[in-house]
């Protein structure tokens, strides 16, 4: 699967993209975020697996003035867990932007676990976007 983004940069094994932050995401590095459906280029903390999650690499507090952050669009990075994770699991977002495993058809995922982890850990992952089997395009 290939996803084309404007402004994507590749540094070593990681592809990133600059995004706009208009809420306080200063303590949300390594959490999942989604693009806002109404403001182009703006990301918010992911609240479920209902849209494509990306990993926030560099957050900021944009609550008073919009600011710039960075998301990972591909490659190896880290991710905060919201439950027990098994190496090789497809990961999606829980209600708070933390990673949980998914086995549900047509559910979006944003990473694959490269190691096991418990809730609250930060684990190594491969950032890759898609949907788990089912009818949605991968």
Cβ atoms of 20 and 62 closer than 8 Å: yes
pTM across the whole model: 0.87
Domain chopping of the chain, boundaries: 13-73, 76-131
- Residues 92-136 have pLDDT tens digits of 999 999 999 998 888 999 999 999 999 999 999 999 999 987 544
Q: Who's near 92: CB < 8 A, 6+ residues apart?
A: 32, 49, 53, 99, 100, 101, 102, 107, 108, 109, 110
The answer to which of 5-14, 40-49, 70-79 has the lowest mean pLDDT is 5-14
Q: Mean pLDDT over all residues of the chain?
A: 88
Q: What's residue 9's pLDDT?
A: 56
C-alpha neighbours within 13 Å on the C-beta side of residue 20: 10
CA distance linking residue 82 with residue 100, whole number of Å: 6
Average pLDDT of the segment spanning 17-27: 95
Average pLDDT of the segment spanning 7-26: 83
CA distance linking residue 23 with residue 38, whole number of Å: 14
Q: What's residue 11's pLDDT?
A: 61
Strands (E), the chain: 8-11, 14-21, 32-35, 42-45, 54-58, 67-80, 90-93, 99-101, 108-113, 122-131
């Amino acid at each position: 699967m290939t996803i084309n983004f404007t402004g994507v940069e590749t540094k070593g094994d990681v592809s990133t993209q600059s995004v706009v932050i208009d809420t306080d995401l200063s303590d949300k590095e390594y959490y999942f975020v989604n693009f806002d459906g109404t403001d182009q280029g703006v990301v918010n903390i992911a609240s479920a697996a209902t849209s494509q999650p990306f990993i926030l690499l560099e957050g900021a507090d944009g609550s008073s003035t919009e600011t710039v952050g960075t998301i990972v669009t591909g490659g190896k990075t880290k991710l905060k867990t919201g439950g027990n994770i098994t190496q090789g699991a497809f990961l999606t977002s829980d209600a708070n932007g933390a990673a949980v495993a998914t086995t549900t058809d047509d559910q979006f995922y944003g990473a694959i676990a490269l190691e096991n982890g418990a809730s609250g850990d930060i684990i190594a992952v491969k950032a890759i976007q898609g949907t788990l089997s089912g009818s949605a395009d991968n």
